[in-house]
């Protein structure tokens, strides 16, 4: 029985990360493959995936942006100004309104609704302008709690905060690895690839509850 639904932010409450990355790279005139390669270079230097230096965080956004600009210039031949990266990244970013409406319906039906995100601290004020924070019964953000998906600790913490047993918790996330982490922690999971499909899967779970 599902009683607590935890949603990811980027790629679920926003368009797919690939689309947002492509749009951003068009604005700064850098091929996405080069931008992502620079991110991987930084991640590799810290022995992590490309986002961990930002959302753990191991680097401040200014340190990361400076390193990115250096790598893009020296290794890929692109001269760019990333000094205001957070504002650049969120410029014209859209909210997935259909998914937001479904979450609001869940909340009205008595479900616990939480946000479980590997979030960059410098982005905290930006995402809050895109969705109604009061919708969420709790927020578990990586930079605040000191762990991140798909680590088991973050699922244990979120489950405790929901007040529900692990098998009553559901993660909706665009990362297959994060979904695997959730199921390893005893949760249910929906791998989000399409809003309509995710809503259909959620409705099926609701019917079984």
Q: How do residues 9-65 score in pLDDT, each as one tens digit?
A: 999 999 999 999 999 999 999 999 999 999 999 999 999 999 999 999 999 999 999
pLDDT given for residue 22 in this prediction = 96
| Boundary (domain end) residue, out of 90, 113, 141 | 90
143 and 190 belong to one structural domain: yes
Six token digits for residue 54: 């930002």
Domain of 137 in residue numbering reads as 4-15+95-208
CB 180 within 8 A of CB 150: yes
Six token digits for residue 207: 């019917």
**Separation between Cα atoms, residue 121 and residue 23, nearest integer Å:** 22
CATH number at residue 203: 3.40.50.1000
Q: Among residues 101, 28, 94, 91, which one has the least CA distance to residue 65?
A: 28
pLDDT digit string, tens, across residues 137-189: 999 999 999 999 999 999 999 999 999 999 999 999 999 999 999 999 999 99
How many structural domains is the chain composed of? 2
Report how far Cα 167 is from the mean position of its chain's Cα atoms.
Answer: 22
Q: What is the DSSP string of 98-112?
A: HHHHHHHHHHHTT-E
Name the pTM for this structure: 0.96
90 to 24, 59, 69, 86, 174: CA distances (angstroms): 9, 19, 18, 6, 19
**Separation between Cα atoms, residue 184 and residue 190, nearest integer Å:** 13
CB 113 within 8 A of CB 135: yes
Q: Please name the residues in contact with 93: beta carbons below 8 A apart, sequence gap of 6 or more.
A: 14, 15, 20, 130
10 and 111 belong to one structural domain: yes
Structure letter (DSSP) for residue 124 = H
pLDDT digit string, tens, across residues 76-135: 999 999 999 999 999 989 999 999 999 999 999 999 999 999 999 999 999 999 999 999
**Separation between Cα atoms, residue 43 and residue 37, nearest integer Å:** 10
Q: Cβ–Cβ contacts within 10 Å for residue 149, how many?
A: 25
Q: Please name the residues in contact with 157: beta carbons below 8 A apart, sequence gap of 6 or more.
A: 140, 145, 147
pLDDT given for residue 162 in this prediction = 98
9 and 112 belong to one structural domain: yes
170 and 105 belong to one structural domain: yes
25 and 86 belong to one structural domain: yes
102 and 188 belong to one structural domain: yes
pLDDT given for residue 119 in this prediction = 98
Q: Cβ–Cβ contacts within 10 Å for residue 198, how many?
A: 22
57 and 137 belong to one structural domain: no
50 to 42, 43, 57, 58, 140: CA distances (angstroms): 7, 4, 12, 11, 20
Structure letter (DSSP) for residue 93 = P
| Boundary (domain end) residue, out of 90, 118, 147 | 90
- Is pLDDT above 80 for 208? no
135 and 189 belong to one structural domain: yes
């Amino acid at each position: 029985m599902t009683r607590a639904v935890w949603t990811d932010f980027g790629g679920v409450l926003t368009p797919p990360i690939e689309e947002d990355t492509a749009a951003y790279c068009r604005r700064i005139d850098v091929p996405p493959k080069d931008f992502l390669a620079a991110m991987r270079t930084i991640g590799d230097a810290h022995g992590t995936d490309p986002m961990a230096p930002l959302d753990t965080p191991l680097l401040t956004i200014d340190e990361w942006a400076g390193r990115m600009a250096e790598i893009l210039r020296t290794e890929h031949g692109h001269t760019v100004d990333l000094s205001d990266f957070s504002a650049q990244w969120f410029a014209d970013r859209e909210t997935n309104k259909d998914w937001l409406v479904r979450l609001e319906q869940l909340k009205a039906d008595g479900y616990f609704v939480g946000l479980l995100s590997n979030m960059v601290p410098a982005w905290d004020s930006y995402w809050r302008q895109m969705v109604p924070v009061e919708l969420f019964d709790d927020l578990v953000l990586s930079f605040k709690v000191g762990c991140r998906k798909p680590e088991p600790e973050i699922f244990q913490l979120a489950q405790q905060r929901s007040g529900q047993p692990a098998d009553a918790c559901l993660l909706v996330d665009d990362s297959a690895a994060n979904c695997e982490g959730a199921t390893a922690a005893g949760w249910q999971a929906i791998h989000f690839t399409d809003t309509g499909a995710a809503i259909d899967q959620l409705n099926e779970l609701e019917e079984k509850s």
